[in-house]
Amino acid sequence: MTRICGLDPGSLRLGYGVIEASAGRLRHLAHGTLSASAGQPLHERLAVLYDQLTAVLDEHEPCEVAIEKVFTAKNMASALVLGQSRGMILLAAGRRRLELAEYSPAQIKKAVTGNGRASKSQVASMVSRLLQIRLPDDEFDSTDALSIAICHAAVVQMEHSLAHRAGS
């Protein structure tokens, strides 16, 4: 059984989703959105989010963390801030010596819905079905984080199956 924490980075809101994956089965453990005040300077917001994230990691004790890869943004300033948020996540994972995986938005959508161009609502619907939970329509930060964890579980399962076949 593998406990995975999916994280959707942001400098104001950081979505998290924790699942357990075992033999192709998924079990929802927790999800939520961590937040910082928009009125704070970036370094203070990142410190607040870091403290909240470390509390989540300490509580749920995942052995692996999965995040979304950096994507090309239309706004360079937004991309830099996102990169700094990702750095804070990498620090939190590194301090705990957790395995870390990164996936593109298209990989995540394809793993969850079968369509790399799926809408946020399509992803949310499939996350609800796969984990057998009800998610509010406006919780995209935590839904995205759960989808990242599900994507990682699918990749690990595929790698395990391929390794098993190669060893047979």
Q: Tell me the C-alpha distance between 15 and 35, whole Å.
A: 9
- Is-contact 20 27, C-beta < 8 A? yes
Annotated active-site residue in 59, 64, 141, 144: 141
For residues 145 and 35, is the Cβ–Cβ distance under 8 A? no
Catalytic-labelled residue, pool 64, 68, 137, 159: 68
User: Catalytic: 68?
Assistant: yes
The Cα–Cα gap between 76 and 117 comes to 23
Residue 144 bears catalytic tag: no
Q: Which of 162, 143, 159, 156 is nearest to 20 (CA)?
A: 156
Q: Are 93 and 101 in contact (CB under 8 A)?
A: no
Q: Which among 8, 102, 144, 159 is annotated as catalytic?
A: 8
CB-count exposure of residue 67 (10 Å: 0-12, 13-18, 19+): buried
Is 8 designated active site?
yes
Catalytic (active-site) positions? 8, 68, 141
